[in-house]
A and B are shown apart, each in its own frame.
Chain A
Amino acid sequence: MSEEEKEIVIKIKRSSKEKGNWWQEYKLKVDRFTQMTEVLRRIKTEQDPTLAYRASCHMAVCGSCGMKINGEPRLACKTLALDIVKKYGKNEITLEPMDYFPIIKDLIVDWTDFYNRMFKVKPRLYPSKEVLEGKADHRLKPEDQRELWKFEQCIWCGLCVSACPSVKNDPEFLGPAAHAKGYRFLADPRDTIFDERLKILIDSSWRCTYCYQCFNVCPRDIEPVTTIKKTRAYTKFVKEKTPVSLTGEKHAEAIAKSIEDTGKIEEAKVYISTYGLLTAITDMIYAMQNGKLKYALVTDTKVKNMTQIRKIMEGE
């Protein structure tokens, strides 16, 4: 087992209230086993004690060490220095604080807003009175346990939120981590506040754009976007729908109908079904002004073998 040491350059984006922002370079030798948390620890104890970062478990279960490594949102502990050197083909690694979160100092960001979002979804089981009093026991099918456990493994690291474009644009969107947590309890057969949870989650679930950034960066493979999709499927159970969830639901129905009729998504038709004729006309003026109207007026032909498509749709 060879264990070659290699000198690498670490460039860290620093910041402090007193000194503002700057980039700082460090050089150190690493081997094939060196985690980025270890790189940071060694810089701090051996070269520059002023460097500030968070790290705790160094085994990807505590979620402390989220940061951008060569621009990618990652856990420092789950990243081996030489893997990054190999991936990017150069000896230099850059470290920056996570996007979206306010920076407190160096690589340390402020999680307050993130925690508030997590608490908004009531992140805890509300069991029945009988179970709480010890008069009854839960039983849980092994397959339900496996399904829920996938989504329960969120370690509150915030990487998905730092990578999410919707959360930046839409203050009403709870964000991927809160949705994963919310869904984990929504889907738990032992929980008793299903309606209340739906009310918290539904409107927000229609504000996700399905860009899959949360899916890509999650260090525990939770797939927050999957939980959002699954939550949306519950819209039909909601009594008082918000404009966003109503529109979303209509949009989904219009797409389904379009595929059922023609085998394709007819953008213009779907648009009118979703937003209504009046909004469509208003938007059309806007589209005309921007030279995009031609795309709305493209006419599609039906797919030939429609029976096959309908079979597939029924199968789902």
Chain B
Amino acid sequence: MEKLSYDAIVIGGGLAGLMAAHEIAVSGYKVAVISKVFPTRSHSSSAEGGIAAYIDGNSDPNDNPDYMTYDTIKGGDFLVDQDAAELLSKKSGEIVRIMESWGTLFNRQPDGRVAIRYFGGQTYPRTRFVGDKTGMALLHTLFQRVSGLDIDFYSEWFALDLIRDDKRVVGVVAMEMKSMTPAFFKTRAIVMATGGMGMLYAHSTNAYINTGDGYAIALRAGAALKDPEFVQFHPTALYPSDILISEAARGEGAILINNKGERFMVRYAPRKLDLAPRDITSRAIITEIREGRGFPGGYVGLDLRHLGEDYIKERLALAYEAAMNFSGVDATKEPIPVRPAQHYYMGGIDVDITGQNPDLIGLFAAGEAACVSVHGANRLGSNSLLETLVFGRETGRTVAKFLSEHKEEDSNNLDKEAEKVVDDAYKFVKSESGVHFGEILNKLRNVMWEKVGIFRDEDNMKDALSQIIELRKMSSSMYVLDKSSTYNTEFFNALELRNMLDLAIVIGRTAIERKESRGAHFRTDYPERDDNNWLKHTIAYLKGETVEITYKPVRITKWKPEPRVY
């Protein structure tokens, strides 16, 4: 097997990974980015609304970083590590300024300064944006910037597994998708920046590539996930493509209606109505559909018609265009078909505010792949783009410092280990008969959606977990029909499924254990938040079929938990 050597390897070419790679490269270290897609195809490109930032001299005069921190903590239902949220707020203005200086075309105020808009959960408006394509604008800026640096890109390379010794990571085995050739990347530091896992759910606003690879790779290497039970659902995803229709639509006055034409939110949130928080609205929509008041296929209507054609096209251009292009619906003439969909994963590889994982020396993570924890139990809008860049940068800097302090050490039998990783990947799918990935995948996505989704309870989740374990067993005899040694996507889809199953078992088990409702984790059998017993982070390891769970305290600096009332 070919052997390559780098000071650091970043896995994932989205915003967090590229920012980390930037910091490592400018510190003078040799770094490579391994990504299963060309970087501009990453899911970061899909982010719409904006990036939250307090900018000195260019923010609401009443605002300050403390308000921003408080909003984030309250939004996260007090499961947020407060030092992390403080850091996020403090660095927000600087990050936006850097991205602007590198060329991001932020929308402007008439005087030429970067403009601001309101977003859910903000005390003052502080979201910076580029039309409704903020993620795309930031991703292209950053990729273009780092493409001018001395960084090696291994695009369309699939990371299989990490190589470790007793206590350190020493490399990663990845495979070039085009030639199906594996290579062993020896390194002292690995940054997991592999993004989220939306494909675990039958309905998700995520890209097809979001299969939770990084979480599973970390778990198999012996690292823990933090708060894996917290999965965010967004109430208004376009039917049936699940493309996000921004909260801005309801902010402008759009109304959710059922198949009887009723404004059903009257029953669920009499005061806030359609502008109730994401979790309440998601639960309301699902209830309507389950009780037979949805439209055939399973959705409700987001009615904009009363706003008038001009207003819709001016103020809600994206909602209008998305409905037109992807659902063939003219939002000025009929309601937009929407339903809740998985949107974001608050859980992730356990790291501290420097991006370092405590289980394995040399393992780092950033972005959605990581749980720093700035989002706690529920993420606020426009905080995820901010997190990718702030913590991508912090992590890159930590890695540079780490590299200066940790010299390379000899490790034995590495080549054998690397061979074993490739063998394991092939073993997993080498049967001559059995099931195809699609069959298991569809079942997994449905069981996660039905039983570990918006509403949860012990019986359903236990049932789901046993089904997941069953599917995982089935997967060991999975077989790949395509025997081609060129760009064998069936093989990679099967490996993605292996990753999804490893993650699913951890989500299922930890969700059963958390016997309270907090943020996005809503239990019908334990509907209240329980700070006495559950104001703590879940830390989960995967050992075969067993999920080993411990807990660690939430870091609280100055904001005491209080009821989350809006």
Contacts and interface: CB of A to CB of B under 8 A. Distances in A.
B296 A3 contact: yes
B144 interface: yes
A237 interface: no
Contacts of B438: 44-46, 49
B241 interface: yes
Interface residues of A, number: 68
Contacts of B108: 139-142, 145
Nearest to A132: B101
Interface in B65-120: 97, 100-103, 105-113
A132 B100 CA distance: 10
B28 interface: no
Contacts of A61: 45-46, 133, 135-136
Contacts of A44: 438, 489-490, 493
B148 interface: yes
A49 B481 contact: yes
B487 interface: yes
B343 to A, nearest CB: 13
A45 B437 contact: yes
Contacts of B130: 149
Contacts of A46: 438, 442
A35 interface: yes
Q: Which of A18, A53, A57, A82 has the most B CB atoms < 10 Å from its CB? A: A57
A131 B111 CA distance: 18
A110 B46 CA distance: 24
A48 to B, nearest CB: 8
- B interface SS class: loop
B295 to A, nearest CB: 6
B106 A59 contact: no
B442 to A, nearest CB: 6
Contacts of A297: none
Q: Which of A1, A3, A64 has the most B CB atoms < 10 Å from its CB? A: A1
Contact of A58 (B100, B111, B145, B207): B207
B40 A155 contact: yes
Contacts of A34: 240
B42 to A, nearest CB: 7
B308 interface: no
Contact of B239 (A33, A37, A105, A141): A33
Contacts of B61: none
Interface string A150-166: 00110110000000000
Contact of A49 (B97, B337, B490): B490
Nearest to A80: B328
A33 B326 contact: yes
A50 B487 CA distance: 10
Contacts of A77: 326
B533 interface: no
Nearest to B206: A57
B208 interface: yes
Interface residues of B, number: 71
B147 interface: yes
Q: Which of A46, A56, A115 has the most B CB atoms < 10 Å from its CB? A: A56
B326 A35 contact: yes
Contact of B147 (A52, A123, A153): A123
A38 B202 CA distance: 13
Contact of B178 (A104, A153, A156): A104
B43 interface: yes
A72 interface: no
B487 A104 contact: yes
Interface in A152-195: 152-153, 155-156, 185, 188, 190
Contacts of A125: 102-103, 141, 144-145
B102 A33 contact: no
A152 B148 CA distance: 18
Contacts of B109: 142
Contacts of A49: 436-438, 480-482, 490, 493
Contacts of A132: 101
A76 B107 CA distance: 30
B131 interface: yes
A62 B46 contact: yes
27 contacts: A1-B334, A18-B483, A18-B484, A45-B442, A46-B438, A49-B436, A49-B437, A49-B481, A56-B42, A58-B208, A59-B243, A77-B326, A104-B178, A105-B484, A115-B38, A123-B144, A124-B103, A124-B145, A125-B141, A137-B101, A139-B108, A139-B112, A140-B108, A140-B112, A156-B40, A185-B103, A190-B103
Interface of B: 37-38, 40-43, 45-46, 97, 100-103, 105-113, 130-131, 133, 135-137, 140-141, 144-145, 147-148, 178, 207-209, 239-241, 243, 295-297, 301, 322, 325-328, 334-335, 337, 436-438, 441-442, 480-490, 493
Given A46-B442, A62-B41, 16 more contacts: A1-B295, A3-B296, A16-B486, A33-B327, A33-B328, A37-B208, A44-B490, A56-B43, A56-B207, A56-B209, A59-B46, A61-B136, A110-B178, A139-B108, A142-B112, A152-B140
